[in-house]
Every structure is written in structure tokens, then in C-alpha cells.
Structure 1
Amino acid sequence: MYQEKIRHILAKNKIIKTSDFSDSNIPKNYLPRLVLKGELIKVGRGIYIQDWSNYDEYKIFQFQHKVPIFSFLSALYLHGFTDIIPKYMEFTVYSGYNASRFDKNNQVHYVKKELFSLGMMRIETPFGNHVNCYNLERTICDLIGNRSKMERELFVSVMKEYVKLKDKDLNTLFKYAEIFGIEKEVLEILEVMLE
């Protein structure tokens, strides 16, 4: 009886959570058995994969941490603006959020709670899973607002790519720029790029 339910879960999911088993009324002690048999690999607390080809660090991170939204370089990567896999994950949380449990190699950004979800969307990772990420216009505003902390060459390259996009949403970009108080900077940069 449990074997059929387990096969169904394994066929449906690349990444398996303990809750997938408990939701199907399968005793949790089956998970360690599957790990011992080599049918699952434990990659985090309550998170398993069937083989290393399913290891999606962005989705696994999102399973472990519900609040963070991928931003800055991680957002650029997820939007396909760079094919270089970032050395660390970059994400945003709201001010006051306890970020002490994050890996010190990750880059955490803070924003006022009322601006936290502005521009959040679901985006597909290269592995076909969906995670929370800022849309392109919010990402561009974040980059412009923090350009002094960014590699100049990368910044210029991203801005040139954005300007060339056919489906860019300049209305949304300027709306966000106004909210963040960087309209002047956004306008100046776009004017330079459009020359």
C-alpha cells in the first residue's frame, strides 16, 4: 500500500519534502529507509532528491526559507541576464527579519516591510522549479540604487541588455523608481544607454 504511494510521490517530484510523505499518510520512517537503499539523497532538513541531477539550490533554499525573495545577481541569473552562475545567492528580506540562520556566504539585502513584496513574481529556475524572485523592473531599480557596490562592467552590460529588450516595461520601471526615490538616476542612466 505505501509502496504505491511512495512510487507516485517519487514520479511526481524532483525534490521531496517530509511533508509530501505525511500529506499522503506515509510514516516518516520510510524516508531514512529510502536513503539507506540509495533511492533518495538527503540534502537538507526534511528535503530529499532522487539523484544529484535534481539538485536545485534555489528551490531547496526556498523550501528551507519561505520569506526571502531572490534579488540582485541571483535575480539577473534567474531572468537569464547572465549565464554565469553566481558564486553566492543574493536575496532580500524585510527590515527586522532575523537573517542569522542564513549561510554567511549568501548576500542578504534589507528593505522596508511595505516595499518588500513590490515586484515579486514566481520564476522558473534552470531546473524547471518555481521560486520567488523580483521582476526585471524591480531588479533594475535595485541595481541602479546600489550601483556603487556593483562591478561597473557588469552594471553597464546589464543596462545595455535591458534597454535592448523588446518587452521591457518602462512604465513599471519609472513607477518603482518614483517609489524608491531614484527617478533622476534611472532617467540619466537610460538616456546614456539609449544614445
Structure 2
Amino acid sequence: MNEQEVQSLIQKAMDEHNGVVKKEELTKLGIDYRRVNQLVKDGKLARIKNGYYTDRVDGFSEEALVAALFPDAKLCMESALYAYGYIKEKPFGWTLAVDKNTSKSRFKMDYPKIIPFYTEPEALEIGAATIEISGSTFGIYDKERMICDCLKYESKMNRDDFKAAIQSYIADPDKDISVLMDYARARKVVKKVQSLIGVWL
């Protein structure tokens, strides 16, 4: 394969995978690790983390990188609260709900900081939605599921963020209490919903 063919294959693969391609994908295209290393040396590819490459080094925002690396994840907890405007300060890391069977090594990266919440596969889809942030599409939980998770994992949350989450939900004109109760039963937080939210309704 000549240089032009290699570049064309890489370009196509990048377009199909939101600008981030795994080493295995490149190998499948017939581009071996020596060629990949050479492309990295030449500045035509950049290694984001072990086994993941991009050709858009300068054109990647943090949001685009997370969306490309974790298309199967859902924004949850603080990241979802921030995306919905329930908390004002951007969280230190990205809180992502992921299938508990997924490889733990995927989340070992210095930047951006990823905080995975390992979830049963069947629970992963409860309240699944999508949201666009800075031009990138993310999986996210709807507000009702997000609040149930905040109640479930209250002990892992910053106290002020937790209070802001509950108050923002209570004040949200788009909330759906019947859906909240359905999720509360599924997530086993019915009593918490009744005591912390029910009194305000």
C-alpha cells in the first residue's frame, strides 16, 4: 500500500468512528504497528492513549474526545446534572455509566478524567436519552433516572451538588413524577423519593 492509500483508509476509518480509531481497526485495514508508529512520528497520527489514535490532534475538544472514546456510555451523576444545568460548576471529571462487563482499562487515562459507574447491562438502558454538547452527541440519562441515581449514590456525591440536584429537579417544570416513581422502583429508591421529593410536590 502506498502512502496515499494508507492516508485514504485512515481518513475513512476516522470519519466512521468520530475521529478516534482503535489499533485493531487499523490492523484490520492492513496497516501494521510499524506503519502506525511511523505515522505517529511523522505527526500524521496522534496516540490519545494506549491503542487509540486520532488524526485530529488540534481539532479535538474535551467533549468531542469523550464522545468519540465512549459512544456506549451515558452521562450520569454530576456530568448529567451539569449538562441539564442543575449544577453551575463543571465537574472535575466525566461521570459515565458503563456496562459492568466493559474493560476497566478503557478508563485509565490522564486526560480527560473519567469516573466510571459500572452498571448492570439491563439497568444501563433505563431512562436512556441523548444530548448534544458543543457539537458532540452523548448518551445521557433523562432527568428522572439521573435523580434516582443521585439518590442511590448520595454518599458518593458532594453535599452541595446533591442539594442543588434535588432543588433543581423540584423546580423543573418539565419533571415527570409518574416516570420518576417507575424508575425509583427499578432503582430501589422509592422511600428516598417520597421523603426528599414527595414532601415538596
Scaled by the length of structure 2, the TM-score of the pair is 0.69
1:181 aligned to 2:185? no
8 Å CA contact retained: 1:120, 1:133:
yes
Counterpart position of 1:93: 98
8 Å CA contact retained: 2:131, 2:139:
yes
- RMSD after superposition: 3.6
Counterpart position of 1:117: 125
2: CA distance, partners of 1:93 / 1:13: 19
Mark the runs of 5 or more structure 2 residues left unpaired by the alignment.
none
Change (3 A) 1:78 1:40: farther
Instruction: Trace 1:39-188 onto structure 2 (pairs within 5 A).
Output: 41-44=46-49, 45-56=51-62, 57-62=65-70, 66=72, 68-95=73-100, 97-101=101-105, 102-103=107-108, 106-126=114-134, 128-188=135-195
SS at match of 2:70: helix
Kindly provide the CA deviation profile for residues 122-165 of structure 1, in whole angstroms up to 9, marking residues without a partner as x: 22233x11122222211110001222332222111111111222
Change (3 A) 1:129 1:98: closer
Counterpart position of 1:15: 19
1: CA distance, partners of 2:69 / 2:15: 22
Q: What amino acid sits opposite 2:125 in the alignment? A: S
Following superposition, the deviation at residue 79 of structure 1 comes to 2.9
Change (3 A) 1:51 1:9: same
8 Å CA contact retained: 1:174, 1:183:
yes
SS at match of 1:92: strand
Following superposition, the deviation at residue 85 of structure 1 comes to 2.8
Scaled by the length of structure 1, the TM-score of the pair is 0.71
Equivalent pairs counted in the alignment come to 188
SS at match of 1:58: helix
SS at match of 1:52: coil
Q: What amino acid sits opposite 1:89 in the alignment? A: W
2: CA distance, partners of 1:83 / 1:109: 22
1: CA distance, partners of 2:55 / 2:163: 38
Following superposition, the deviation at residue 5 of structure 1 comes to 8.5
Following superposition, the deviation at residue 11 of structure 1 comes to 9.1
Mark the runs of 5 or more structure 1 residues left unpaired by the alignment.
none
